[in-house]
Amino acid sequence: MDYYNLLKEKIYETIPSMLWIDKGQIFYSKYYGEIVATLITKHPKNVFTIYGFDKKEGLPRSCNYSINGENQDLSLVGLEPKLNHVLKTLGNVQLEHDINILWINKTILWDLRIDELKNQHENTIYKLYELLLKDSEIKKPFIILTV
């Protein structure tokens, strides 16, 4: 199971602005791969021209993006979740800090030398997913039957 993508979806649900069309946003081009937007021009009928640099070669690129999905060269990927996004999604948690390590609820280790969630250790991603899953299960109504 891909816990990173499930966790990323949950973060996007909590912080919808990570999917807004804005500078710094990541788009996927069928021609150039991932592009980080540096300038966005809006045209009529919800069509945008995205100017930016591809992550692979660092070359300047421009492509069109349409909210309607018509004739588009790009698809919106969204910002990569970082520690602040994870903490906002988790809500109230206990944090402890050691030189390059942040402990979340005394069980989840976040390596502070690594910025993005996708680059954290797979065990960290799994435990964060588990914590969010556990949270959502607690909020579900349940019935206790007694005999």
Alpha carbon distance 37, 54 (integer Å) = 9
Give residue limits of the domains in the chain: 3-13+80-139, 26-76
CA 1 to chain CA centroid, nearest Å: 17
Q: Is the dihedral of CA 90, 94, 95, 101 positive or negative?
A: negative
What pLDDT shows up at residue 73?
78
Is the full-model pTM beyond 0.85?
Answer: no
Q: Which residues contact 83 (CB under 8 A, 6 or more apart)?
A: 102, 110, 112, 115, 117
Rg of the chain in Å (alpha carbons): 19
pLDDT in 10s for each residue of the chain, 147 residues: 689 999 999 999 999 999 999 999 999 988 899 999 999 999 988 888 999 999 889 999 988 888 877 767 788 899 999 999 999 998 888 899 888 999 988 888 999 999 999 999 999 999 999 988 765 544 443 444 443
What pLDDT shows up at residue 140?
40
What pLDDT shows up at residue 135?
55
What pLDDT shows up at residue 71?
64
Token representation of residue 116: 């993005």
